[in-house]
Amino acid sequence: MLERNREPGRKIVISGGGRCNFTNLHCRPEHFLSNNLPFAKSALARYQPSDFIALVERYGIAYHEKTLGQLFCDGSSRQIVDLLIEECRAASVELLTGCDVSVVRDGFVVETSRGDFEAPAVVVATGGLSIPKIGATDLGYRVARQFGVNVLAPRPALVPLLFDAGDRRRWRDLAGIAINCAVSVTDTSGHISGTVPNGTRVVPTFEERLLFTHRGLSGPAILQASSYWSPGAGLTIDLLPHLTLGEEIVRRRAAGDTASTKTAVATQLPNRFADRWFETMAEPSVIASTGNDAIRILESGLHSWTIVPAGTEGFEKAEVTAGGVDTRELSSTTMAARAVRGLFFIGEAVDVTGHLGGYNFQWAWASGHAAGIAL
């Protein structure tokens, strides 16, 4: 095993706030996106979360479920790295760190900074382009192209989104404020998008937390939606997904409530956000004298706040890379390139991208298992 970094598993170490969200109890194919959605089903079915959990338990690693089926180590994510290293030792795998691969020649001679290696098979487990500061490169894509395997354009996924100049001026000083909401990706006409950019998948609505940053929006709901976003598309954000605020205002109006509609909104959303909303998006009024049209406009705005992001924070802040090695050129059973005997691609290098919450690790374990069984 040839590892470019001096220490293996650096992405594992930093994941989950240092506790590694190593799988998800609810892992199913619908939690992934790809240009070829059925591809992931075979590997995911043959190596399931229960299989990796059994391995974790065999090593005595304590873990807990956080939310939505996400499993984290009670202690450090380094426990998962140590587990994997020990599994390698048990299988007599020699791990060479600080080993920079320069080229893979025909016949599978691998030229590296620590000499040349020759083998009848090569498994490319290089990850994607996300988080280059911990060693991410395009090596896997270069190897694929060298052997004639198609690569679909990589793009940042699970990544914060940027405001345009106007929205940045309007919202940037709310950095740090979080709101539980529901986020959908919309097309340029404001309709909820029915597919990812390549046209292969219905896009879900993500109901989780949104976080304001100095440059745009982040938080789980935004990271999830970002995997389906493409330049020019918008986001429709329901700030009150489980509340019909208009009905409450109508009830309070009937009682002659002299409070402001801003007060009613501030009981459901952070005060600073409510203040800014009424400074820039709506006019406050006395509840007792607020007409039905004004109530409908206020509620519609809060349930369908639309923003068109200017872009993403890029691979530097992306948790994963979407796109990659075209799965149509791989066996879904073995991860082997159909046209190149002995060449395998697994994990993030492949055009299979999971939702936030342990799904991408489970794909790494499942696709790696598929290739390992085949070898």
Helices and strands in the chain, H and E counts: 12, 19
Q: Would strands 151-157 and 343-345 be described as parallel, antiparallel, or unpaired?
A: unpaired
Query: pLDDT in tens for each of the 375 residues of the chain?
Result: 999 999 999 999 999 999 999 999 999 999 999 999 999 999 999 999 999 999 999 999 999 999 999 999 999 999 999 999 999 999 999 999 999 999 999 999 999 999 999 999 999 999 999 999 999 999 999 999 999 999 999 999 999 999 999 999 999 999 999 999 999 998 644 444 444 444 444 578 999 999 999 999 999 999 999 999 999 999 999 999 999 999 999 999 999 999 999 999 999 999 999 999 999 999 999 999 999 999 999 999 999 999 999 999 999 999 999 999 999 999 999 999 999 999 999 999 999 999 999 999 999 999 999 999 999
Q: Give me the pLDDT at residue 348, please.
A: 98
Task: List the structure tokens of 125.
Answer: 């487990």
Q: Give me the pLDDT at residue 186, please.
A: 84
Distance CA 146, CA 58 (A): 40
* Per-position DSSP letters for 155-223, written without gaps between them: EEES--EE--HHHHHHHGGGTT-EEEEEEEEE-TTSPBPSS-TTS--PPPPEEEEEEE-SSEEESHHHH
Q: Are 25 and 71 in contact (CB under 8 A)?
A: yes
Residue 59 phi, psi (nearest 5): -90, 5
Distance CA 28, CA 26 (A): 6
Determine the distance from the C-alpha atom of residue 99 to the mean position of all C-alpha atoms in its chain, rounded to a whole number. Answer: 29
Which H or E run contains 350? Answer: none
Place of tokens 């304001």: 212
Q: Write 272-281 long-range contacts (CB < 8 A, 24+).
A: 272/174, 272/177, 273/174, 273/177, 273/179, 276/170, 276/171, 276/174, 277/302, 280/170, 281/305
Specify the pTM. 0.93
Q: Are 117 and 109 in contact (CB under 8 A)?
A: yes
Place of tokens 């705005």: 301
Distance CA 90, CA 181 (A): 47
Q: How many CB atoms lie within 10 A of CB 247?
A: 11
Q: Give me the pLDDT at residue 22, please.
A: 98
- The domains of the chain, with CATH numbers, are 10-157+318-374 (3.50.50.60), 160-313 (2.40.30.10)
Q: Are 277 and 330 in contact (CB under 8 A)?
A: no
Q: Give me the pLDDT at residue 196, please.
A: 44
Amino acid identity for residue 365 in this structure: W
